Amino acid sequence: MVTEQLTSTASGNKANSGTKALSDSDFLRYSRQVLLAEVGESGQAQFANAHVIVIGVGGLGNLVAQYLAAAGVGNITLVDGDKVEVSNLPRQLLFHDSDIGVNKAVAASAKLTKAYTQVRISAVAEHLTATSMQPLFKLDRQYDVLLDCSDNFETRQLVNRIAVSQNIALVSASAAHFQGQLLCIEQQYKPDSGCYHCLFPADMKVNQTCQTIGVLGPMVGTLASMQSLMALQLLLGNKQLVGNLYRFDGKQFSWRQLIITRDESCSVCGQASHYNECVTSAGTANQNQHEY
Amino acid sequence: MITIFINDAMKQVEQGASLTKVLEQYSLENDIQLAAIAVAINNCVAPRATWHTTQCQANDKLELFSVVAGG
């Protein structure tokens, strides 16, 4: 019987203060994960003690939330102001015809709570804006990982500003047409990698969105799986993926890996930036426009 | 002239040409908006602010891509 209090061995995140023991039933449920030397009982306890926040519960967020809940990540906050539409159903696999018209965060939370009773899932039925983010991000490093599953560039910029200002590890994925991108940023661990804004400045022209050029469900699913895996690696203390951009071509089935470089003049994370001011001012300017 | 590679295709550019100049020419030739391009040189992303001070070297491998925002 596993009764001892498990403590984490990895460094750097809130999950290390783990106080949740692994019960017999949990030990059985997660046995294939615990078998991994990189996970073990302590890693599983880190999952259980972790709190992640998922911005956007569309194609990416559906699968990410389900993977993380199934893996035993103990606290998951889902944020989305959209309602389920019929055009979502081919790739947002948690939803069915009966969910049409229901808020996505609420619908996903209800289903995942029923399926994974050991996980605490909360729903925020609002678009992420400078206003709605205030109660969500009250404390420094309140979340272990921030997962950007949104579907528009403006929200991605806001999520990045939050990650920088709150010192949260950001795992950002995106997909449209047959192109996918996945990246991980953590300022405290690897400041030389900069942030999402260093890579994609806010004034950059965006051509690829699912609404305008379409996407296949498995294309989004591929990125969501990788995003989930990356988040679990971070929760285990594996930081070797931080600072990399991975680009997936869904026609050629090729992955390209690039190293992200800090822009010293970046208005979000550069030397001249003021993190909190950036979040407040830029977020306020866009607060009526963030949807995903 | 020196030889560089843009998205795996060989290209001749002037010795000492800045990244800005190379990308402006490429965007014109390929009808791509410069404002929609991100670029990596030899697998390292070059932030936009460094383009005008970055000189292309022989055999540099440039990877051009655009932001994907869907999800």
CATH code: domain of residue B56? 3.10.20.30
pLDDT at A103 over 60: yes
Q: What is the pLDDT of residue B4?
A: 98
Q: What is the pLDDT of residue A20?
A: 60
Structure tokens at A211: 């609404």
- Residue B17 — very low, low, confident or very high, per pLDDT cuts 50/70/90? very high
Q: Is residue B71 part of a domain?
A: no
Tell me whether residues A151 and B71 touch, CB distance under 8 A: yes
| β pairing state of A169-176 and B2-6 | unpaired
Domain boundaries, chain A: 50-285
User: From the list A173, A198, A204, which residue is nearest B71 (CB)?
Assistant: A173
Q: What is the pLDDT of residue A141?
A: 75
Most A CBs within 10 Å, among B45, B51, B61, to test the A interface? B45
Average pLDDT over residues A157-174: 96
pLDDT at B20 over 90: yes
DSSP B18: B
Q: Is residue B50 part of a domain?
A: yes
Contact A258, A245 (CB under 8 A): yes
Q: Is residue B37 part of a domain?
A: yes
> Comparing C-alpha atoms, which of B23, B71, B70, B30 is closest to residue B48?
B23
What residues of A act catalytically? 210
Q: What is the pLDDT of residue A3?
A: 32
> Comparing C-alpha atoms, which of B28, B27, B47, B50 is closest to residue B38?
B47
pLDDT at A11 over 60: no
Residue A18 DSSP SS3:
coil
Contacts of A264 in chain B (CB under 8 A): 49
Q: Is residue B14 part of a domain?
A: yes
Q: Which residue has the tokens 């109660």?
A: A135
* Contact with chain B for residue A60, Cβ under 8 A: yes
pLDDT at B30 over 60: yes
From the CA atom positions of chain A, what is the Rg in Å? 18
pLDDT at A172 over 90: yes
Q: Which domain holds residue B14?
A: 2-65
As a whole-number percent, the residues of chain A with pLDDT over 90 amount to: 78
Contacts of B45 in chain A (CB under 8 A): 198-199, 245, 258-261
- Please tell me the distance in Å from A206's CA to the nearest CA on chain B: 6
Average pLDDT over residues A34-51: 97
Rounded CA separation A173/A184 (Å)? 9
Contact A216, A251 (CB under 8 A): no
Tell me whether residues B40 and A210 touch, CB distance under 8 A: no
pLDDT tens string A199-213: 999 999 998 666 778
Contact B58, B3 (CB under 8 A): yes
Rounded CA separation B13/A36 (Å)? 51
Q: Is residue B33 part of a domain?
A: yes
Instruction: State ipTM.
Output: 0.95
pLDDT tens string A220-262: 999 999 999 999 999 999 999 999 999 999 999 999 999 999 9
- Span A50-285 CATH architecture: 3-Layer(aba) Sandwich (3.40)
Q: Under an 8 Å CB criterion, which residues of B touch A?
A: 33, 35-36, 38, 40, 43-50, 63, 65-71
Half-sphere exposure of A208 (CA within 13 A, CB side): 18
| Domain tally, chain B | 1
Rounded CA separation A124/A127 (Å)? 8
Average pLDDT over residues A35-57: 97
pLDDT at A285 over 70: no
- Residue A184 — very low, low, confident or very high, per pLDDT cuts 50/70/90? very high
End-to-end CA distance of chain A: 45
> Comparing C-alpha atoms, which of A5, A1, A7 is closest to residue A42?
A7
Rounded CA separation A114/B23 (Å)? 52
Structure tokens at A61: 């967020």
Beta-bridged to residue A179, according to DSSP, are A176, A249
φ, ψ of residue A257 to 5 degrees: the values are -115, 130
Mean pLDDT score across all residues of chain A: 87
pLDDT tens string A63-99: 999 999 999 999 999 999 999 999 999 999 999 999 9
Structure tokens at A82: 């959209």
Mean pLDDT score across all residues of chain B: 96
Q: Is residue B70 part of a domain?
A: no
Tell me whether residues A206 and B66 touch, CB distance under 8 A: yes
Q: What is the pLDDT of residue A22?
A: 83
Tell me whether residues B68 and A200 touch, CB distance under 8 A: no
pLDDT at B63 over 50: yes
DSSP A4: S
For chain A, list the strands marked E by DSSP.
51-55, 75-79, 120-124, 145-148, 169-176, 179-185, 244-249, 254-259
AA letter at A3: T
The residue among A272 and A82 whose pLDDT is bigger is: A82
